[in-house]
Amino acid sequence: MKIELRDPNKIMKLSRLGSFHQSKLSFLRSFLQEFKDWDYQRDLFDLDENGYGKAIYSFKKKNKIYSLICFSNYLKDEERSDRVIATKWDAAFVLHDGIPTKQDIERLYNNVPKQEIGRVSYKELSLSRANKSVRIFNHVIESLSVGKQPDKKIISEVGYLYRTTAVYGSGKFGLADRFRLKNREEINGPFRLEMMLVYLVRQFTFDQVNHVAKLKNPNKAVELDKEICRNLGIGNSTGLGMAPFIVNHPILLNNWILARETALKKIREIQIVKSDDKDLFYSCLKKSIKNITSWNSDSEFQKNKIKQLLSDLNKFINFIENKFDFNQEYAFNKMYLWIESNLKEECIEYIVSIMMEPYEQITGPLVKQMSSDEEKYFNIPTERTIFDLREILEKKYENIIKIDFNERKNNKFFWFVSKNKEEPRLADRFIEEGHELEQPLAIARDIKKLYERIANEKNSKSIGNFLIENNDLRHVVRRAFIIEKFPYSEIQDNIIGSNLIPIDMLRLKLSFFGALKFDPRSDKWLRITMFQGAPLPNELKNFNEQWIYNSLN
C-alpha cells in the first residue's frame, strides 16, 4: 500500500508545527548515537572551593578531537539574568576544534566570558553561556556536603542545575564557518556541535557540584548519585531569536519536516507490525506519560495544552487496549487515521513521534538527510515564466493568497532587529515605531503582494524580465521557486497576524533539537530541558536508545 506524504498546507500550519515533540530524529538523540563510540575524557579541572575556574572536556576518535572549555566565575545575584540582554553569566563555554594550546586557553579566557562582545576564531565551533538554577544548585551542594543525596522532589521540579541562555554556532562572533567543517561525517547533522557543547556542559555541572561539596566538607561529602545525574538535564531559555531562523532557512526546514513525514509515511506502509515493534511502541507510550505528569508550567496556555494532551492520551490508550487489533494489516496506518480523526494536534504529533521508536532502520538513514545546501538553490531561475510562477503560488500558497492584508488584524506585527542586542524582536506596527525597518519575514504578505503584482502580467513573460521592474519582491520570487522543489520549506501561516503565537515557532525548532517540557514564560519566550534522562558520557558505549522514556521523572 502506498501512503501519500501529509499535506504541507495542513502540516506547515503553526498550530501543528507548535505541537511537535522530540523523536528519534531529534538532534540530541542522533548526536548521542553518532558519538557513542568516541572516547570521552575530562582533561583539566581547575576550580577553586567555590567552583570558579576552568575545566576542559573532550571527545576523541583516532586523530579527531573536540574540546569543551568551561569558564566559571562569581556572579552577583542581581546580575543573573536569562534575558539575552544580560552581559554576565555564571559560566561561559566554547567548543574548540582539537586540543587547545595554552595560548588558545588564554585567548579564550579573555573573550568567551564576554560572549557577544568578545571574539573567537575559526578554531572554535560553538559558543554558549549558562546561569545556575540557584535554588537547586545550592540545595544539591548543601545536601552532598553533609553526606546526603538531594531531595528528588525538589530536583524534579526544575530538572537541571544550569540553564543556557544562548548557544551560538556557524560563524557567529568569528566561530568557524560551516564550509570549513562540511566534510566531517560525524557532524553531518544539524546542530550537532551545539548538541555536543550542551551535553558536555551537563557533565561539567555535575563535576562542579561534587567538587564544591567535597571542598566544603571533605570528611562527610558524597558524590551526586548517578541515577540523579541521569535525571538532570540542561535547561535552556529561548526567546524570539530562534524564530526567524526557520523562515530564513527554508530548505533546512523542509529537510527536517520531510524526514519526519517520510518516517511516518514508511511506518504507515508497514503491512505487518512485528510483535517486538508493537511492544516497544506500547512500552514507550506508557512510560512517556511520566513526561507529561511531571511537566510543570505556570503558563495557562501550556497548562491547557498539557491537560488536553493527557486527556487525549488516555483516550488513545483506552482505544488501543480495548478496540484496536495490532495484528491487522497496516496497523500503524489505521492507528494514524484514528488519531487524526479523534485527537487534537498536540497528541497526534506526540504519538507520531513515538511511532518512530521501533524503526531505527527507517529513521537512521533519514537523520543523514536533515542538513541542507542552501547555496545550491539560491539563484532564481530567471528563464522560467510568469505562468510557472503563478502556478506555484496558486498550488503551494493556496491559503496564503486568500488572506486579506488590508485588514488591520492580518498586518499587526513587524519583525525587527534590536539595535541594542542585534536580536530579532516583534512589535505592533500600529503602536510602536520602527516598522519602516521591518525584516523580510512577512513572507505571507509579500507572497500575496507578488500574486497580485503578476495578475496582469503576460504568462509568457520571463521571470528575468519581470524582475527588472519588480526587484522589491525578489526575496519572495526566490522563495517561490524554492518551495516548488521543497514542499515543506514554508510556514503556511501569516507570521505578522494578530493570532500569531510566536512560541509555536520556537517549539518547532526545539522539538527537533530534542527538547522536553516546554515551559512558556510568555508568548515570546520559553524554558525547556535538554538531555534529561540521557546516559552520562562514560556510559555512552552501551546505552538504551529509548533513554528518553526510561529515565524521566
Cβ(447)–Cβ(397) under 8 Å? yes
* Shortest Å, Cβ 430 to another protein: 22
Angle at the Cα of 519 from the Cα atoms of 517 and 524, rounded to 5 degrees: 135
The per-residue DSSP string of 54-104 comes to: EEEEEEEETTEEEEEEEEE----GGG---STT----SEEEEEEESPPPHHH
* Residue from the set 5, 86, 317, 380 that interacts with another protein by CB under 8 A: 380
275 burial via Cβ count (<10 Å: 0-12, 13-18, 19+) = exposed
- Closer of 146 and 437 to another protein (Cβ): 437
CA distance 40 to 51: 22
Q: Copy the grid coordinates of residue 421.
A: 542586542
Query: Given the complex with another protein, which of 123 and 509 has the nearer CB atom?
Result: 123
Q: What is the DSSP-derived secondary structure letter of residue 271?
A: S
Instruction: Give yes or no for a contact between 172 and 127, defined as CB atoms under 8 angstroms apart.
Output: yes
Stretch that binds another protein, among 105-113, 344-352, 451-459, 474-482 (CB under 8 A): 474-482
C-beta closer to another protein: residue 122 or 301: 122
373 is an interface residue for another protein by CB under 8 A:
no
Minimum distance of another protein from residue 388's CB (angstroms): 15
The secondary element (H helix, E strand) that includes residue 550 is: helix 547-550
Kindly state the smallest distance separating residue 166's Cβ from another protein, in Å.
16
Over the window 19 to 58, marking each residue x when it contacts another protein by CB under 8 A and - when it does not, the resulting string is: ----------------------------------------
How many of the chain's residues bind another protein (CB under 8 A)?
Answer: 33
x/- string (CB under 8 A) for another protein, residues 223-262?
A: ----------------------------------------
Question: Judged by CB under 8 A, which of 77, 185, 321, 383 binds another protein?
Answer: 383
The single residue among 342, 382, 522, 538 that binds another protein, judged by CB under 8 A, is 382
E runs forming strands in 424-525: 424-428, 516-520
Tell me if 398 contacts another protein by CB under 8 A.
Answer: no
With beta carbons less than 8 A apart as the criterion, state whether 258 and 488 touch: yes
**Crossing angle (nearest 10°) for helices 360-367 and 250-268:** 170
The least distance separating another protein from the CB of residue 171, rounded to whole angstroms, comes to: 3
H/E element, 463: helix 463-469
3-state SS class at 126: strand
172 makes contact with another protein (CB under 8 A): yes
Is residue 171 a contact point for another protein (CB under 8 A)?
yes
> Where in 333-372 is the site for another protein (CB under 8 A)?
none
Among 304, 342, 471, 499, binds another protein (CB under 8 A): 471
β-sheet bridge partners, residue 506:
none
**Which residues have C-beta within 8 Å of that of residue 549, sequence separation ≥ 6?**
283, 284, 287, 288, 291, 357, 533
Q: Which residues contact 433 (CB under 8 A, 6 or more apart)?
A: none
Pick the binder of another protein from 91, 181, 477, 496 (CB under 8 A).
477
Q: Does 118 bind another protein (CB under 8 A)?
A: no
| 8 A C-beta contact, residue 215 and residue 51 | no
Q: Which is nearer to another protein, 477 or 516 (CB)?
A: 477
Pick the binder of another protein from 122, 307, 430, 432 (CB under 8 A).
122
Options 61, 98, 146, 179; binder of another protein; rule CB under 8 A? 179
> From the list 375, 404, 433, 436, which residue makes contact with another protein (rule: CB under 8 A)?
375
Smallest separation (angstroms) from another protein to the CB of 472: 5
Half-sphere exposure at residue 252, Cβ-oriented, CA atoms within 13 angstroms: 17
Nearer to another protein, 73 or 470 (CB): 470
Contact mark string toward another protein, 431..470, x via CB under 8 A = ---------x----------------------xx--xxx-
Instruction: State which H helix or E strand residue 480 sits in.
Output: helix 474-485
State which residue, 167 or 285, has the beta carbon closest to another protein: 167
User: Which of these ranges, 155-163, 333-341, 471-479, 542-550, lies near another protein under the rule CB under 8 A?
Assistant: 471-479
The reply on whether position 378 binds another protein by CB under 8 A is yes
CB of 265 to another protein, least distance (A): 33
From 87-95, 98-106, 304-312, 476-484, span contacting another protein (CB under 8 A): 476-484
Q: Is 472 in the site for another protein (CB under 8 A)?
A: yes
Residues 531 and 515: beta-carbon distance below 8 Å: no
Minimum distance of another protein from residue 384's CB (angstroms): 11
For residues 483 and 467, give the distance between their C-alpha atoms in angstroms, rounded to a whole number. 19
DSSP alpha helix (H) spans, 114-191:
134-145, 152-158
Query: Toward another protein, which CB reaches closer, 79 or 472?
Result: 472
For another protein, the closer CB: 177 or 432: 177
HEC profile of 186-244: HHCCCCHHHHHHHHHHHHHHHHHHHHHHHHHCCCCCCCCCHHHHHCCEEEEEECHHHHH
End-to-end CA distance of the chain: 40
Residue 180 vs 265, nearer CB to another protein: 180
The whole-angstrom separation of Cα 515 and Cα 531 is: 8
Where do contacts with another protein occur on this chain (CB under 8 A)? 121-122, 170-179, 375, 378-380, 382-383, 417, 440, 463-464, 467-469, 471-478
